[in-house]
Amino acid sequence: MSYTIFITPVSYLLNPFTGSNPHRDPRLSLSSVEDVRSVVSTVFDYSPTPLVSLSSLARKLNLAELAVKDEGSRLGLKSFKALGGAYAVFRLALEQAGKRSGRSISINELPCSPTGSLDSSTQPLEAGSAAFQAVAREMVFACATDGNHGQSVAAGASLIGARSIIFVHEGVTQARRDAIARFGAEIRVISGSYDDAVSECAKASLAQGWTLLSDTTWPGYEDVPRWVMQGYTLISAEVCEQLSAPPTHVFLQAGVGGFAAALCSSMFEAWGPATKFIVVEPERAACLLASARAGKPIAVAPQEPTLMSMLECYEPSLLAWKVLTPIVHSFMTVNEDEAIGAMQQLALPEEGDVAILAGESGSAGMAALLSAFADPELTSALGLSQSSRVLVINTESATDEARYEELVGVPASTVRENARRSFART
């Protein structure tokens, strides 16, 4: 099959597989989102994250609408990952408790967070039913992470009284390791990249009998990551409820692709092919673009580390690949400077717009949108025009505040306060 590759200020690829038979997965359907909402509402003081309209920036870019779904406050963990790892912990523990007790364990037997969020290492005094406790406290959850997924798994495990062992590669900053360790997790540092940590974690979990809770998939290992991806579909349901009209374009950042696939699948179900989905990766770790170019999922060679460390993955999730390829309109990459520029744009917005605290990886979707407007050919190829309604997801806030201030030039606390005041006025 032929396809077109354009090399511009950003590299992009019009997806040659768009329109082929979609890969339908029941857990990534909007019809199953209420299962996620039920669990999250039972355990936490749940409320949707905000959808912010950047009207002034939209006018500057000559767009009809520009909305940002801000996941920076999700359940106290500063990232959308709060919906993935922790949700999968609860589901796996419920499943195991049901097998052990010989009866169905109700969602109502889950523990409740004492703070209403995951941002606490304090375990509740009554952590669910006795049947649930008996199983949960024997479980050991293990995963590899660049930071956010591991924090979610560790927080969920702490909440139900289970242990967690989190594998990080040597490039994960100390601040991000500390954020995981505060939930009582054992941190194991692995030489190499995120993919090396995934491999080591899988080997150790098999040898030790731990519950492997990865957010990526490979042959023979797809069921557990499905729970992780299903958790993310709650974002789609909220967006559908918050938007007055479907977007024409959605920019979704990707590492292994689980987040992008979960949202593409559920949003495509809601809006159909009229919405263009653009997958965004760091140019130093663009495994999905490379796979689309090759016509099959492939690994790319590790390069110099990217600032967008939560997206620094060199091999796609096989399940994500199957979901994305029939739906995605195009694949894009962004570089380091573009990510920083997007962070600054969101932190110091156009007059009248709300400030948004976006981390290096959280800003990637916005970076792609801004970069697209730097090149008329790319703008045209993506079909962006004055009638376009664009949706971008800020997937994380400042997960390393010292690094954030170094990159943006403004303390995260200042941006957070400016955002709070803007919301108060509106």
DSSP 3-66: --EEESSSEEEE-TTTTSPP---GGGSGGGHHHHHHHHHHHS---PPPEEE-HHHHHHHT-SEE
Say if residue 159 is in the same domain as residue 258: no
SS3 20: coil
Q: Which of 81, 217, 207 is nearest to 150 (CA)?
A: 81
Number of domains in the chain: 2
Same domain, 108 and 244: no
For the chain, give the number of residues: 426
Q: What is the mean pLDDT of residues 395-407?
A: 94
Considering the domain architecture, whether residues 114 and 61 belong to the same structural domain is answered as no
3-state secondary structure at position 294: helix
Residues 282 and 363 in one domain: yes
**240: containing domain:** 5-78+230-425
| Same structural domain, 168 and 251 | no
Question: What residues have CB less than 8 Å from 96, skipping those under 6 apart?
Answer: 135, 139, 211
Average pLDDT, the chain: 92
Q: Give the pLDDT of residue 41.
A: 93
Distance (Å) of CA 251 to CA 17, 38, 275, 398: 18, 28, 11, 20
28 and 74 co-located in one domain: yes
The predicted structure's pLDDT at residue 105: 86
pLDDT band, very low/low/confident/very high, at 272 (cuts 50, 70, 90): very high
Same domain assignment for residues 174 and 190: yes
pLDDT in tens, 101-123: 888 888 988 888 877 888 766 55
Per the listing, tokens 């669910």 go with: 128
Average pLDDT over residues 14-32: 88
334-386 pLDDT, tens digit per residue, is 999 999 999 999 999 999 999 999 999 999 999 999 999 988 999 999 999 99
Which sign does the torsion angle of CA 157, 158, 160, 164 carry? positive
Q: Are residues 253 and 329 in the same domain?
A: yes
Residue 261 lies in a domain: yes
